[in-house]
Structures are given as C-alpha cells and as structure tokens.
Amino acid sequence: MMPYLILLAAFIVALYFIFRSKKTKQVSQNAMNETDRQLLLSHVAYYQHLDQDNRLKFEQMLLDFLSYVRVEGIDLVPDATDRLLIASSAIIPVFGFGQWKYQNLHAVILYPDTFNKDFQFEGGDRNILGMVGTGYMNGQMILSRSALLEGFSISTDKENTAIHEFVHLLDKSDGATDGIPENLMPHQYIIPWVKMIHQEISRIEAGKSDINPYAVTNEAEFLAVVSEYFFEKPAQFKEKHPELYQILAATFSQDPVKK
C-alpha cells in the first residue's frame, strides 16, 4: 500500500508543478514587454495620459485584441509598431466598456499607402485611407500604413484614420452602419443626436464649423469624423461642441478630458 501512496503523492506533486508552469507561462504571455510599452509611450498620446492602473488595463485589452484579430500586410511585413497602433486604435473607442470583442472583425490588412475601390495601391486615383470590408471582404478592415502612422504622429490634430474605421465597426455592431450606434448610445440621446447631426452638417456646409467637412458625407461618416476629434483633441472638442461631446462621452462610456 505504501508504494502506491508514494506514487500517488509524487503524481500530485508533478501535476502541481505542471499546472503551475502553465499558469506562469500564461501570465507571462498576457503581460506586455517593456519594448512594446515604450512604443506605446512614444506614439500613443491617449495611453500616455492614463494613470498606471489604466495603462495596465489598456495593455491587457490590447493584447486580448491581438489574440483574436490577425494583422496582415500587402507588399509589406507589419512590424511591432504597426500592430500596436492598430490595436490601440481598436481599444481607444472601447476603453470605457471594460470588456469588448469586435465580433465583426477577423483581420486588419495593412497596405503601404492609399488605395482605390479596387484595392489597388499603385497608379492614379488612389484616395482611400481605410475602409471596413463588406461582401466577400466582410470581417476585414483595410488600412493605409502611411495613414495609420500619420494618425498617431501628430497628437495636436483632429484626425486618426484607424480610430475612424474602428468607430465604423462599432456603429455596424447593431446591424446598420448609419451613424447611430443604438447598442451603445443611451436611448434618451438618440433623437437629440440625430438632430445635432443635421444641425452641425448645416454649419459645416456654411463654413461655420471646425469639424472636418468629410463629416457631411452621411450620418455614418459624421459619427466617425467627430469621434476622431473627440479622442484626438477632447478639450478643444468639448469647448467648441459641448452637446456633441456630452453624447459621445455617454456613448463611449468615457470622458477623455478627465482621464
């Protein structure tokens, strides 16, 4: 009987160390390395302004995103900076939600530069910086690498192409890309939001607004454009557009001026 007890004890001890090893490995895989952390500090103003606890939360959400979304390149090999900036663009709009998974995204495809509607990135007539795929491209996002880098290189502007495209995905998550993210926006704000969209579009068309004129394209583009402004220059956006700011803060469950 004694030998069996010894073998059983040895087996239990072995299992302990095996599972302990796996757990340790899992923790280490879920921790961001210092090189990537420094890249975030160098390139992502949003991350720079977070306190230590929220930086850790941001890192975990970022790593989780990269665990289920592939980052691929066409005529280029995405590097660590590309991957971190794409993931940051995904996390910034959903940071206030705590847990969020982009169910409608499987891959981000990085092009060297602007491209056209036929996904060509050489020759003339190339003016697309990013797009959310539809039809046979459903579940994929295409981004210009040059636009991705530019969006994070100037922290004082109001534009960020990658954030713009991820907001389109959030808008699409309720089944319609219409500028009204009904599963995110508090119900009491929906009617005022629609009114504000059309009022602000009129002001943009009259040259009386500092919002990017691309916002007049349609309601979906309006949401994406003002969201870029909201996250890139929140203090200025809040000062110039307090009502829009209030609704976006409620929709994204965060107040970037106070973070």
Triad 73, 74, 80: Cα angle to 5°:
20
pLDDT at 86: 98
Under the banding of pLDDT at 50, 70 and 90, the label for residue 212 is very high
Q: Which has the higher per-residue pLDDT, 1 or 151?
A: 151
pLDDT at 13: 31
What is the total residue count of the chain? 259
Q: Name 26's Cβ contacts closer than 8 Å, sequence gap at least 6.
A: none
- Find the helix packing angle between 242-252 and 187-205, rounded to 10°: 140
Bridge partner list, 141 = 108, 132
Q: Which CATH architecture has domain 30-252?
A: 3-Layer(aba) Sandwich (3.40)
Average of per-residue pLDDT across 121-136: 73
Handedness of CA 48, 52, 54, 59 (dihedral sign): positive
pLDDT at 104: 86
Res 154 pLDDT > 80: no
**Residue 113 DSSP symbol:** S
Which class for 73: exposed (0-12), middle (13-18), buried (19 or more C-beta within 10 A)?
A: middle
DSSP sequence for 206-219: TT---S-GGGGS-H
Q: What percent of the chain has pLDDT over 70?
A: 82
Bridge partner list, 115 = 128
State the Cα torsion 46-50-56-62 to the nearest 10°: -10
pLDDT at 9: 39
Average of per-residue pLDDT across 125-139: 77
Under the banding of pLDDT at 50, 70 and 90, the label for residue 121 is low
pLDDT at 118: 67
pLDDT at 60: 96
Under the banding of pLDDT at 50, 70 and 90, the label for residue 28 is very low
Joined together, the tokens standing for residue 147 give 């636009």
Q: Name 131's Cβ contacts closer than 8 Å, sequence gap at least 6.
A: 141, 142, 165
DSSP H or E run through 33: none
pLDDT at 241: 97
How many other β-carbons are positioned within 10 Å of the β-carbon of residue 95? Answer: 24
Q: Which has the higher per-residue pLDDT, 100 or 62?
A: 62
Under the banding of pLDDT at 50, 70 and 90, the label for residue 200 is very high
pLDDT at 16: 35
Query: What three-state secondary structure class fits 190?
Result: helix
Residue type, 42: S
Q: How far is CA 175 from the centre of its chain?
A: 19
Res 7 pLDDT > 70: no
Res 253 pLDDT > 60: yes
- Among 116, 42, 110, CA closest to 75: 110
DSSP H or E run through 143: strand 140-144
DSSP sequence for 38-77: HHHHHH-HHHHTS-HHHHHHHHHHHHHHHHHSEEEESSS-
Average pLDDT, the chain: 86
Q: What percent of the chain has pLDDT over 90?
A: 70
Which class for 186: exposed (0-12), middle (13-18), buried (19 or more C-beta within 10 A)?
A: exposed
Res 75 pLDDT > 80: yes
